[in-house]
Structure 1
Amino acid sequence: MKFIQQRTIILKSFIAALAILVIKNFVFKKLSLYGQDFHDLIELSDITIIFTGAFFVFGLLLAATMTDFKESEKIPGEVASNLEAIKDWIYLAFKAPRTGTSDLCKEELDSTFLRDQMIAITDGIIAWIYSHGKDSTVIFPLIRKSNEIAYYFAERGVDKEAIKGIQENTNAMRKQLTRAYSISRNNFIKPAYTLLQSILFIVMSLLLITKFKSPSADYLVTSAITFLFCYLYLLISGLDDPFDILNGDTNVDLKPIDRFKQRLCSDFLVGKKGTSFDELI
């Protein structure tokens, strides 16, 4: 199943090429217009300029979508780095001297609460990225949970550098996830997709009525051009939203966040409530 999900573009393009061959050889070869067969109404040499122009347009739009995709590739790693930094600031909070004379400043930091908060934030970010809707009302309240850790530390007289570091990394993570939200929700301009679909339709229609010198050339050229244009169209559509879980072979790699989640669950503040930092490590 995973093999198919990671090669959906190739499979869809292959099916489209096969469908065009079947339609041309089993439908159009039986049709005629004023004694002229439908499958050889025009010569291939008459339409090569159209194929050249179509490839040029597809290439321009592919280059445009690649810009956002390149930026999207960086986001999982940057989010994981900020989460890792927040985790390190929490470690610092345990080690650095605390100030203040209130009762809260004298009590031990709740390692269970902090661990649960970090796991909840990480799980929420992963679930949001894998979600189809990318709901903004879910992700932004979730990011504020890391600020709640900063508030928790501020009430207990934790080192100010740790509090400042958590807030700075939270703000950086908010910018990165906002960018991911923008890329996912704001698709390429609709007229551009209309142009691509029109070109694809014109190319497929011309292939159905084009005459070739031999049956082998007919099969090879028709299938190859259909495959290439369908592949380019599906690739552009997939790259336009690299966070779409339905496009398995054009998704950004989420391994940095997944690996951080594994490290977080395995060694971050593992222990019972009230356990000191030195005992945890």
Structure 2
Amino acid sequence: MESKELINKSAKKIWQKWSIAIRITPLIILLALLKILTHYLGWEVLELNALFTSLVAGTIFLIGFLISGVLSDYKESEKLPSEISASMKSLVDDTYTIYKTKNTLTALEFIEFQKMFCNSLINWFYKKEKTKVILKKISEMNHFFIELDKEGVQAGYIIKMKNEQNNLRKMILRIDTIRDTNFVDSAYTILEAMGFLIGCCLLIIKIEPFYASLFFTLVVTFLIAYMFLLIKDLDNPFDYSSNGESGTEVSLKPIHDLRKLLIDFI
């Protein structure tokens, strides 16, 4: 059983590492066939010149601009699942403390609510629940705070839990903004156009010997296509509904670990 899990983990890591390269393999094969076709049909009508190298350099500059922009959001996104898990764990700990000291039914019901909320949160990451539903459930915590206040729970506990509730709301809204907003749509458009132009030019540029021409055509196309897809993936690190928890998606392990912890809690 352990060896099977080890094999699955190894296969998952390999897929995560090479997923983008595998996705663009059909494009590279198509371009290789087209390059061979244009060579034997005599359609290589352009000579390598400084204008073409300037176009490639400009594309690389644009790629650098885009990746520096999306990396800042990605670095922030990496922290959010852990921070959400920490806020929820703090809520659970405070509620458990109240339950043990006051032996109140409201605290026990609140713990059960938090268990259900954790499941709903994972469904939300996979877009099985809408953002407004999650926000409504966060607001429903107020009902438990009101009841706990009526039962004489210290104000310090309730204020602390209200702060964690507010933190959860802010992080949910931040994730929703990141996954529904592209970095700069117009920049993606010009990058797509420049990549397409470079690919077309490489097909009709004559470089001797032919195998060197074929090699550089495939290498340049591979690098541009790979970086474009990498930037698109980094721009939405919460796209679990399409890609699952693989590739460049931010790990949800902290939230999964919390859910496992809550299953047998109390």
For the pair shown, the structure with the greater C-alpha radius of gyration is: 1
Q: State the alpha-carbon separation in 1 of the partners of residues 17 and 263 from structure 2.
A: 28
1:101 corresponds to which residue? Answer: none
Structure 1 residue 75 corresponds to structure 2 residue 86: no
1:196 corresponds to which residue? Answer: 191
CA pair 170-74 structure 1, distance change in 2 beyond 3 A: same
The Cα offsets for residues 109-161 of structure 1, whole Å up to 9 and x where unpaired, read as 256523320111111111101227x7332221122233333223123222222
Question: Do the aligned residues in 1 keep the contact of 2:106 with 2:148 (CA within 8 Å)?
Answer: no
Structure 1 residue 125 corresponds to structure 2 residue 100: no
TM-score, structure 1 as length reference: 0.82
Q: Alignment length, in residue pairs?
A: 252
1:57 corresponds to which residue? Answer: 62
The percentage of counterpart residues that share the same residue type is 29
Question: Do the aligned residues in 2 keep the contact of 1:17 with 1:223 (CA within 8 Å)?
Answer: yes
CA pair 44-258 structure 1, distance change in 2 beyond 3 A: farther
Question: Do the aligned residues in 1 keep the contact of 2:115 with 2:262 (CA within 8 Å)?
Answer: yes
1:166 to 161, 165, 169: 161
Amino acid at match of 1:249: G
Q: State the alpha-carbon separation in 1 of the partners of residues 83 and 34 from structure 2.
A: 49
* Structure 2 unpaired stretches of 5+: 1-10
The Cα offsets for residues 39-89 of structure 1, whole Å up to 9 and x where unpaired, read as 352226652222112111111111101111111111101000000100111
2:260 to 245, 249, 262: 262
Amino acid at match of 1:213: E
Please state which structure has a larger fraction of its residues in helix: 2
Alpha-carbon distance, 1:186 to partner: 1.5
Tell me, what secondary structure is at the counterpart of 1:38?
A: coil
More deviation, 164-173/37-46: 37-46
Q: CA RMSD in A?
A: 2.2
2:44 corresponds to which residue? Answer: 39
Q: Please list, as runs of the form range in 1=range in 2, the aligned pairs for 1:1-281 lying within 5 A after superposition.
A: 2=12, 4=15, 7-26=18-37, 28-31=38-41, 37-43=42-48, 47-96=52-101, 108-109=104-105, 113-131=109-127, 135-245=130-240, 246-247=242-243, 248-266=246-264, 268-269=265-266
The Cα offsets for residues 171-223 of structure 1, whole Å up to 9 and x where unpaired, read as 01111111001111121222111111111111111111122222331232111
TM-score, structure 2 as length reference: 0.86
More deviation, 254-263/145-154: 145-154
* Structure 1 unpaired stretches of 5+: 32-36, 99-106, 270-281
Amino acid at match of 2:117: I
Amino acid at match of 1:129: F
CA pair 30-158 structure 1, distance change in 2 beyond 3 A: same
